[in-house]
Amino acid sequence: MGPMSIERMRRELHEYIEGVARQQAVRQDEHLPDPWYHFEIRIADIGVYPSITQTEFAMDFELPDSTRYHEAMKTIATECTKLSILINEILSVQKEFHVGQLENMVLLFMNTENISVHESVHRIISLIRKHYAACEDAVASLPWTDDEVDNEHIREYIRGCRRLATGTGHWAYLCTRYFDETQLDEKWGLVLNFEAPGSAT
């Protein structure tokens, strides 16, 4: 990694560690957080930003700060981070509910707005659509140059951002951390189960 990428990684890891500390403080509080506050601190503690920066190392290029911090690039990185969080909130809610970890947007919306699981999941799906649209809209304003090598680096960086979001879902479907494969139908639709282990369904 070049010096600019290394400095970005240093700052992003520092923000990540501070974000994790904030999340732990929230979990130790006797009151559940507001879902929007939870969403905001998850942006820092999920670790997407340093993972995106690793794209530069993996693909052997370095974006200048003027490109990385261009408004469209910042928007895409931020929106893909939000997409990663929202996808993970839905896919992890069953497991987190069963272990008593209630700091999940599905459960927090249910708590603050007195809505059902179904309504809360659909609320988050609508947020996924909103942030996906914002990400795609930003593509039209990317800082293209006359240098095709630089342009390919921008494309690869954007692909890396998108892979973090889609990879969150892909990983969850391929492992058993959050749910059992028997909960997937023939179209890979997920049926969430909030029954206590051993109870009748």
Q: 3-183 belongs to which CATH class?
A: mainly alpha
CA-to-CA distance for 113 and 110, rounded, in angstroms? Answer: 6
pLDDT top residue among 24 and 192: 192
* Mean pLDDT of the chain, nearest integer: 88
Has residue 99 got a pLDDT over 70?
Answer: yes
CB contact set of 155 (below 8 Å; sequence gap of 6+)? none
Tokens matching residue 177: 């951390």
Q: What is the pTM of this model?
A: 0.85
Name the range with the highest mean pLDDT among 18-27, 34-43, 189-198: 34-43
**pLDDT tens digits along 50-65:** 888 888 888 888 899 9
